[in-house]
Structure formats: structure tokens, C-alpha cells
């Protein structure tokens, strides 16, 4: 007769009921939250050297759970980047709304698999609820379907897959059965400044990069509608709600109407910018975006949900589910929402729980005010830098700021000094063949005092570079 390994079972069961262990984890988490605003935005060399403590062989015996947590906190917490503080402006990373973090703690304890209703009724119902809330908040067509994925990279892949398959189906070609060999050619049209994740998705889908039609953009990174080629029923048109560098928005009214007349499929990369649709004062930026066919967006950016909260939205529910559908004799579909129909993966954590908590916490008013607050602070940040002799290279229409010192070498050196200061952190980019400092104001934790302190770091860095150069 086979029996459980008693040592394994007893050890793990004891740990599962050792509430002091979880109390220790809670205390470490609260300690981190209390001190994050005073921690350097980026870890110094001494802290980074502490990572060597993790570079060890796997031991032969069981590890002590208390020592494991202590090691994570003592050696790990100091080398985290303070993305949840107020002076991190890199990579469009948002903060975490408190109730969403608390909900994540609870949902991690639940450890639900969101694949099917029969596996997790709570995840299924919350996905259905949030789908309706997002349609309302973002002003999208009533039958829009939502899939909840890790990030907008995956969401973009889902949207373009649905679009490619839909266009081929209309041409009488079932790509899910026949594959791409001998398939009718699909044209891809996008702006020359499209995000790299779009190219990644197109590569995965077998649509390549050399055959893509890149449309010239204006000085803000918007597609020039007059230069868009003739569209047809074989065309995937990819637009941006928030250029990754400048934050600019394409002319959705003009371009989506043109695409609809031609029978083309429009996907909108709205990773951080689509949330402008939820703002009473900024939704003019997304006017006409509801005319598109699919949209990708991240809740962990502008909305300040915890990380790992991407969303694919598609106005054609059948196109999305048929592109991502899978079968198996063991799969128990229900008359309720089965989340795996809307995502590439089956087993996945129930990230919807913290997204629901975020939306429930903010409501329509809170979402609008959060988005507008980030915009207001971006404009304040840009004006303060300009007052101190920095060049602002874009129109600050949303939450992105591009900063220059007049030549690429000086700009790159100033950026390096800023990053080394540990006062704030932002990244660099190339804009119109010039090096720029890229600032993304995304966290609800950012205050005007944080911005003033960051501006001082910019000014100090500029003085250090110019004095060194002279």
C-alpha cells in the first residue's frame, strides 16, 4: 500500500498552520511599507552586493522557514527599486493602491486558478463584473469582451491574433486548421514609432517585420493620417493611445472610420494611455477610440493596480474566443464565464481580484481624478524643469515628459548623474534621433514635494556635468 511521505506531509502541514510565520511576513511587509519613502530610489552598491547571499547551492535538507523570510527581508528588501514610492519615474510603472495590495495578500492566500468557473467561481464572477465596469469606464462597445492577462505585451498578442484570424476567416481561410502555409497575405500598417512589443507580437504571429508598412509620424509621434496607405479587408492597422515616449494619441476618429469603410481590423496599443478615456477632462484624447476592434491596456500602469494586470479588450467576442479556444475531455465548461476562453493560458492566478479591488476603491470619480492628477503633476514637473534651463521636447498631453540638454552626449551624462544620485530614477530614450531623458509620472504616491526634490536632483546633475565638461 502506498502512503504519504510522512516527513514531507508533517513538515508542510505544520508550516501551513504556523501563524507566527505569517505574522513575521506581515511585519516585514509593514516595515517595508513604512520605510519605502526614505529608502534610496535605486539601491546603492553595498545593497547590491548583498545579493551575493542568494548565490548559493541548493542545500540537501529542509530550509528553516523563518530564516528564509529573514533572508528575503534583510538581503532582498534593500535591493528593491522603490517603484511604490513617489520619486520613481521610469518605464511607466504605477504604484499600488492600498486596498488593492491588501486584496492581493488575501487572494494570494486563496491561491485561485482562474481558468474555469468550476475551478474558481469568485474569479469568474469578478471577471464578468470587471468586464462590464471597464466597458463603461473606457466607453467601449457594449458587447466588448475582456481577457485578463499578465501585461499589455500578451494583450497585444491576443488582439492581433484575433484580428489576423478574423481577416483570414473573412477571406475563406481557417488559419487555426490550415496554418499559415499558403494563407492569403495580411498587410500590417502602423506608425514608425510603434512599441517594440507590437513587433514582438507580429513576429510570434508569423507576420514578420520587413513586410510591415511604417507610416511617418508628426513631431509628437502621431501617425499622419494623410500618409496612411489605402486600407482593405486584408489589413491590420495598429494605432497608439499614448506614444511610449511622448504620450501622444493618434487621430482615432479619422483613422478608425477609414479602416471600417475598408473592412480592416484596428488594434489600439493603449498600455498606459487608454485610461485617458476614464477622465472627464482628458477623454478628448481618446475620441473615436471605441471605433477600433481591439485594445490592449495595463491596469498596473496608470490605474495603479498591482503588477501583473494586463487586459485585452475586443469588440468581437467570437473573434477573441475562437482565436484562443482550446478543448479537452477533462475541461468542464459552464454556462457562467470561463476565463480561459479569453486568454492564451489555462492555469493562471486570479489577478482579477486586485483589479476588482482597485476599480471598486476608485469608482468613476476616483479613476478620473487619479488620471488628471498624474497629468497635472506631469505639467508641473515639465514647467519646473523648463524654468531651470532644461528643454522639453514634447507637448505634455498626458503623463510623459521628454527632457534634453541640447545635445545627446550631455543629456546622457546628466541622466547618469541623476540615476546615480538615488534621489529619483528615470530612464533614457531616443527621440527624433536625439538622446532624451524620459519621465513617466504614474504613481499616486508622487507629491509636488517629490517633484520639487527631483527637479533639484536634475539641476544638481546638470551643474556637475557642465562644470566637469568646462
Asked whether the predicted pLDDT for residue 211 surpasses 90, the reply is no
Mean pLDDT, range 169-173, rounded to an integer: 96
- pLDDT tens profile 309-365: 999 999 999 999 999 987 787 888 899 999 999 999 999 999 999 999 999 999 999
Mean pLDDT, range 114-119, rounded to an integer: 95
Give the pLDDT of residue 17: 79
Percent of the chain with pLDDT over 90: 91
Provide CB contacts within 8 A for 104, sequence distance 6+. 306, 353, 354
Task: Confirm if 191 and 356 have CB atoms less than 8 A apart.
Answer: no
Give the pLDDT of residue 283: 98
Give the pLDDT of residue 2: 53
Mean pLDDT, range 397-422, rounded to an integer: 97
Mean pLDDT, range 222-227, rounded to an integer: 97
For residue 278, what pLDDT band results from cuts at 50, 70 and 90? very high
For residue 15, what pLDDT band results from cuts at 50, 70 and 90? confident
- pLDDT tens profile 82-95: 999 999 999 999 99
> Considering the chain, what is the average pLDDT of its residues?
95
Question: CA-CA distance, 382 to 393, in Å (whole number)?
Answer: 10
Asked whether the predicted pLDDT for residue 151 surpasses 80, the reply is yes
For residue 266, what pLDDT band results from cuts at 50, 70 and 90? very high
For residue 7, what pLDDT band results from cuts at 50, 70 and 90? low
Question: CA-CA distance, 467 to 205, in Å (whole number)?
Answer: 51
Q: Which residues pair with 146 in a beta bridge?
A: 313
Mean pLDDT, range 28-36, rounded to an integer: 95
Which strands, in side-by-side order, build the sheet including 187-191?
145-149, 310-314, 294-298, 265-269, 235-240, 187-191, 213-215
Asked whether the predicted pLDDT for residue 4 surpasses 70, the reply is no
For residue 14, what pLDDT band results from cuts at 50, 70 and 90? confident
* DSSP-assigned letters across all residues of 61-108: SPPPHHHHHHHIIIIIGGGS--TTSSSB-STT-----HHHHHHHHHHH
Asked whether the predicted pLDDT for residue 108 surpasses 60, the reply is yes
Mean pLDDT, range 150-177, rounded to an integer: 96
Q: How many CB atoms lie within 10 A of CB 372?
A: 16
Question: CA-CA distance, 4 to 106, in Å (whole number)?
Answer: 29
State which of 43-47, 185-189, 322-326 shows the largest mean pLDDT: 185-189
Give the pLDDT of residue 3: 52
Mean pLDDT, range 41-66, rounded to an integer: 94
For residue 5, what pLDDT band results from cuts at 50, 70 and 90? low
User: Strands 187-191 and 265-269: what pairing?
Assistant: unpaired
Mean pLDDT, range 370-387, rounded to an integer: 98
Provide CB contacts within 8 A for 184, sequence distance 6+. 168, 171, 173, 234
Asked whether the predicted pLDDT for residue 378 surpasses 50, the reply is yes
Asked whether the predicted pLDDT for residue 6 surpasses 70, the reply is no
Give the pLDDT of residue 210: 79
Query: Residue 399 corresponds to which cell in the numbers above?
Result: 503623463
96-100: which pairs have CB atoms within 8 A and are 24 or more residues apart?
Answer: 96/304, 96/305, 96/306, 97/304, 97/305, 97/357, 97/358, 97/361, 97/362, 97/444, 99/357, 99/358, 99/360, 99/361, 100/304, 100/305, 100/306, 100/354, 100/355, 100/357, 100/358, 100/361
For residue 1, what pLDDT band results from cuts at 50, 70 and 90? very low
Mean pLDDT, range 234-246, rounded to an integer: 97
Amino acid at each position: 500500500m502506498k502512503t504519504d511521505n510522512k516527513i514531507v506531509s508533517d513538515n508542510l502541514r505544520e508550516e501551513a498552520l504556523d501563524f507566527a510565520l505569517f505574522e513575521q511576513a506581515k511585519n516585514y511587509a509593514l516595515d517595508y511599507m513604512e520605510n519605502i519613502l526614505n529608502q534610496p530610489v535605486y539601491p546603492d552598491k553595498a545593497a547590491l552586493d548583498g545579493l551575493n547571499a542568494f548565490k548559493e547551492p541548493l542545500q540537501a535538507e529542509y530550509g528553516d522557514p523563518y530564516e528564509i523570510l529573514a533572508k528575503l527581508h534583510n538581503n532582498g528588501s534593500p535591493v528593491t527599486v522603490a517603484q511604490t514610492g513617489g520619486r520613481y519615474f521610469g518605464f511607466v510603472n504605477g504604484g499600488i493602491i492600498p486596498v488593492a495590495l491588501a486584496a492581493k495578500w488575501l487572494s494570494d492566500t486563496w491561491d485561485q486558478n482562474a481558468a474555469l468557473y468550476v475551478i474558481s467561481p469568485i474569479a469568474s464572477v469578478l471577471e464578468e463584473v470587471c468586464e462590464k465596469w471597464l466597458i463603461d469606464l473606457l466607453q467601449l462597445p457594449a458587447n466588448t469582451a475582456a481577457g485578463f492577462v499578465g501585461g499589455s505585451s500578451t494583450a497585444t498578442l491576443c488582439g492581433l491574433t484575433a484580428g489576423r484570424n478574423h481577416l483570414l476567416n473573412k477571406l475563406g481561410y481557417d488559419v487555426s486548421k490550415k496554418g499559415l502555409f499558403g494563407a492569403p497575405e495580411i498587410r500590417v500598417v502602423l506608425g514608425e514609432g510603434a512599441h517594440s512589443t507590437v513587433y514582438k507580437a507580429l513576429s510570434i504571429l508569423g507576420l514578420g517585420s520587413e513586410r510591415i508598412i511604417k507610416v511617418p509620424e508628426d513631431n509628437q509621434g502621431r501617425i499622419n493620417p494623410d500618409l496612411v496607405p489605402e486600407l482593405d479587408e486584408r489589413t491590420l492597422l495598429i494605432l497608439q493611445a499614448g506614444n511610449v515616449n511622448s504620450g501622444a494619441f493618434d487621430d482615432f476618429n479619422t483613422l478608425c472610420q477609414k479602416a471600417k469603410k475598408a473592412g480592416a481590423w484596428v488594434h489600439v496599443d493603449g498600455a498606459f494611455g487608454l485610461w485617458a478615456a476614464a477622465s472627464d477632462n482628458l477623454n478628448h484624447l481618446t475620441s473615436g477610440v471605441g471605433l477600433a476592434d481591439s485594445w490592449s491596456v495595463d491596469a498596473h500602469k496608470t490605474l495603479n493596480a498591482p503588477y501583473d494586470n494586463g487586459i485585452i479588450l475586443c469588440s468581437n467576442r467570437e473573434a477573441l474566443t475562437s482565436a484562443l479556444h482550446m478543448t479537452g475531455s477533462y475541461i468542464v465548461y459552464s454556462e457562467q464565464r470561463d476565463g480561459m476562453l479569453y486568454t492564451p493560458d489555462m492555469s493562471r492566478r486570479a489577478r482579477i481580484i486586485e483589479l476588482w479591488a482597485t476599480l471598486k476603491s476608485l469608482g468613476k470619480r476616483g479613476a478620473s481624478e487619479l488620471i488628471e492628477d498624474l497629468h497635472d503633476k506631469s505639467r508641473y514637473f515639465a514647467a519646473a524643469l523648463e524654468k531651470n534651463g532644461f528643454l522639453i521636447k514634447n507637448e505634455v498631453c498626458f503623463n510623459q515628459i521628454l527632457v534634453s540638454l541640447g545635445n545627446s552626449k550631455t543629456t546622457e551624462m546628466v541622466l547618469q548623474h541623476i540615476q546615480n544620485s538615488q534621489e529619483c530614477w528615470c530612464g533614457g530614450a531616443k527621440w527624433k534621433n536625439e538622446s532624451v531623458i524620459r519621465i513617466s509620472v504614474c504613481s499616486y504616491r508622487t507629491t509636488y514635494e517629490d517633484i520639487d526634490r527631483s527637479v533639484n536632483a536634475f539641476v544638481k546633475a546638470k551643474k556637475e556635468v557642465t562644470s566637469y565638461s568646462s
